[in-house]
Amino acid sequence: MANKIREPAVAGLFYPSDAGVLKKQVQGYLQKAEPTAIFPKAMIVPHAGYIYSGPVAASAYKSLESRQNRIRRIVLLGPSHRVPFYGLALSEAQVFKTPLGDVKIDHSLDDKLLKLSFVQKSDLPHRQEHSLEVQLLFLQMLLKDFELIPLVVGEASAEEVAQVLGILWGSEDTLIVISSDLSHYHDYETARTRDQKTAQAIEKFLPEKLKQEDACGRHPIRGLLVAAKAKHLKVKRLDLRNSGDTAGSKDQVVGYGAWVFY
């Protein structure tokens, strides 16, 4: 396992595979995003193709620009789109490779996490999963030096996810990133209405209000809401749009939102 590498699965599909083109695209999104004075402990960001969700994701990542040297560890949770399983899956890889270079994986807390019956170590859910991968490029562009703890989340309760986050919470040098899109394939106005309700559930810390059709990453979001409420964090919405606002038609849209917890 010494040099086990997780190769990119969606380079050239969800984002450009050419490093120069990719950097220019991400920089463009960040330059257009509104700055915020908030230094987040956690954030919720979308994970679609960059032309669709990149501008919304950038609104959250913008908050990291002036804190590049303070964040050393990223705890990254996203839903499993391809492999059904119960619980959360750690990766066996030592490195996640992207067009911008290698991201080192922090395995220092694996043993503690694996004592939980619902946490496993398996690369199968990670191999083709895009929800984690698409976040790495923004992080690589913004942070000077960081290690990653990537977890793919299958079926899991809010309390189970919160228990994992409690182990990984860390101090100011640890940032928690939850990867999730919102509603899928409704018409524009229906999506806006549904996503507004989802936003309210997030902002009122009501994990039980998030249903399957509201967000593909509902399980990690629910867990974050439980953990953040216990830690007395505040939440701020930075963006709420859909693919009809960014790069797609308004007939069938996917919703995207960005929130920071502090």
**pLDDT for residue 144:** 85
In this predicted model, what pLDDT tens digit does every residue of 218-233 receive, in sequence order? 999 999 999 999 999 9
Half-sphere exposure of 145 (CA within 13 A, CB side): 1
pTM, two decimal places: 0.97
Tokens standing for residue 103: 């991201």
**pLDDT for residue 69:** 85
Query: What pLDDT band is residue 1 in, cutting at 50, 70 and 90?
Result: very low
Contact 58, 134 (CB under 8 A): no
Tokens standing for residue 106: 């922090």
Hey, what domains does the chain have and what are their CATH numbers?
A: 5-261 (3.40.830.10)
Tokens standing for residue 56: 């919304």
Nearest to 198 by CA among 13, 44, 6: 44
In this predicted model, what pLDDT tens digit does every residue of 87-131 receive, in sequence order? 999 999 999 999 999 999 999 999 999 999 999 999 999 999 999
Average pLDDT of the residues of the chain: 96
In this predicted model, what pLDDT tens digit does every residue of 135-178 receive, in sequence order? 999 999 999 899 999 999 999 999 999 999 999 999 999 999 99
Q: Is the pLDDT at 189 greater than 70, yes or no?
A: yes
Query: What pLDDT band is residue 68 in, cutting at 50, 70 and 90?
Result: confident
Q: Is the pLDDT at 66 greater than 90, yes or no?
A: no
CA distance 197 to 178: 19
Contact 260, 238 (CB under 8 A): yes
Q: Taking the CA atoms of the chain, what radius of gyration do you get in angstroms?
A: 17
Share of the chain above pLDDT 90, in %: 97
**pLDDT for residue 248:** 82
- The per-residue DSSP string of 113-128 comes to HHTSTTEEE-SHHHHT
Q: Which residue is listed with tokens 């902002």?
A: 203
